[in-house]
Amino acid sequence: MQVTMTVNGEEVSAEIEGRTLLVHFLRDHLRLTGTHWGCDTSNCGTCVVWMDDEPVKSCTVLAAMAGGHDIRTVEGLETEDGLDPVQQGFMQCHGLQCGFCTPGMMMTARALLDRNPDPSPQEIREAISGQICRCTGYATIVRSIRWAATHPDGTQPADATEPAPETAGSPA
């Protein structure tokens, strides 16, 4: 079957099998490998992308169902002006270790900040509660998202101080 959608601002079309998941379409057909495929059961959140500005787990969406929709992947976060503040925050505050969960975390974080530009650490933990990170203990991820919230244009003022450290533990 033929499917057409907009991915990161560009219209794409491809012939696919009806059972192709969006995560596989992005990775295998479009070679956008920033979206990771983890658990295949929608539990880990590594595959989060946006469909019409809403975060979705792409391992639960058929590519055919995404036809006609706008899809945004982690590759679409960067703009001509540079990295998104979320991407910068993950670098500044060491919000990644192995990096496997990072693309999904970043997409979820950007969606949160678009809706709530100044979330509390608890609100951040709630927003990322559908994602699993086996490396960081979440404290650096929460700090990274707070950094992005306090630096919405991606620049760090000379007198800026980093957000207060979070305690380690799970996101919820």
Question: In order along the chain (172 residues), what is the average pLDDT of each group of 10 residues?
Answer: 97 96 96 89 88 96 97 94 94 90 94 97 95 86 96 65 50 50
Q: What's the pTM? A: 0.85
Amino acid identity for residue 86 in this structure: V
**Arch. (CATH architecture) of 85-150:** Orthogonal Bundle (1.10)
Question: What is Dmax (Cα atoms) for the chain?
Answer: 56
Contacts of 138 (CB under 8 A, 6+ apart): 125, 128, 166, 168, 169, 170, 171
Sheet holding 10-15, edge to edge: 10-15, 2-7, 70-72, 48-51, 54-57
Please give the pLDDT value at position 156: 61
Q: What is the pLDDT of residue 168?
A: 47
- Residue 171 has a pLDDT of 52
Q: What is the DSSP string of 5-33?
A: EEETTEEEEEE--TT-BHHHIIIIIS--T
* Domain extents in the chain: 2-76, 85-150
Question: Under CATH, domain 2-76 is a member of which superfamily?
Answer: Beta-grasp domain (3.10.20.30)
